[in-house]
Amino acid sequence: MNRDKLVGLALVVGAAIFAILIIYLLFLAPPPMDILTMKIIIALAVVVLAGIVGWIGYTLATTPPPKPIEEIEKEIEEELKKLEQEQKQEQSK
């Protein structure tokens, strides 16, 4: 069995064990544990969501804006002119 399959199998087994643990803590554990489990899950969900939103904001704030289409068209035209001149020079040889 190759390494990728082993990692995949470990992830599936780990996810199943984690799900069973959470279900146990929510429904079968004594009363203080079920509330604590819910608080932890909600806190982690809020932190993950805030992290994703923060990462999107950071990316938007630090990424330079794209070049205007007109500037890109000018660059393409200049490159085409250079290629045409090179072809003319090669043909004249």
Q: Has residue 67 got a pLDDT over 90?
A: no
Structure tokens, 37: 């489990």
User: Per-residue confidence at 88, pLDDT binned at 50, 70, 90?
Assistant: confident
DSSP 32-59: HHHHHHHHHHHHHHHHHHHHHHHHHHHH
CA distance 56 to 63: 11
Which amino acid makes up residue 35? I
pLDDT in tens, 8-66: 999 999 999 999 999 999 999 998 999 999 999 999 999 999 999 999 999 999 999 88
pLDDT at 2: 93
Contact status, residue 34 vs residue 25, Cβ threshold 8 Å: yes
| 93 has a pLDDT exceeding 70 | no
